[in-house]
Amino acid sequence: MDNITDNLKQWQHRIEELEIQSALQEETVQSLSDTIARLQQTIDLQQAQLRLLYQRLPDKADSNNEPFNPANEIPPHY
């Protein structure tokens, strides 16, 4: 009888450990999913900003009949 009780306790312990690991993995997966969603939003915003900049490039080049050169641009804080 003690052998059966010991086996049941071992199985119960193993099941509890697996449940703990599963819960930790679920938490990790959710955290990674949230991080990916935030990164996708950042990428989408950066792509929109880049499209806007590309749309403005011809405007800059046409305004003074010189090719656009970012090195000649004055930053907004000057």
User: Is 69 part of any domain?
Assistant: no
User: Is 34 part of any domain?
Assistant: yes
User: Is 78 part of any domain?
Assistant: no
CA dihedral sign, ordered 45, 51, 53, 55: negative
Over its length of 78 residues, how does the chain's per-residue pLDDT go in tens digits?
788 999 999 999 999 999 999 999 999 999 999 999 999 999 999 999 999 998 888 765 566 666 667 777 777 765
Q: Which residues touch 60 (CB under 8 Å, ≥6 apart)?
A: 68
User: Is 33 part of any domain?
Assistant: yes
pTM exceeds cut of 0.85: no
Tokens of 30: 């959710």
CA pair distance 61, 10, nearest whole angstrom: 75
Which structural domain, as residue segments, surrounds residue 39?
29-55
User: Is 65 part of any domain?
Assistant: no
Report the domain count for the chain.
Answer: 1
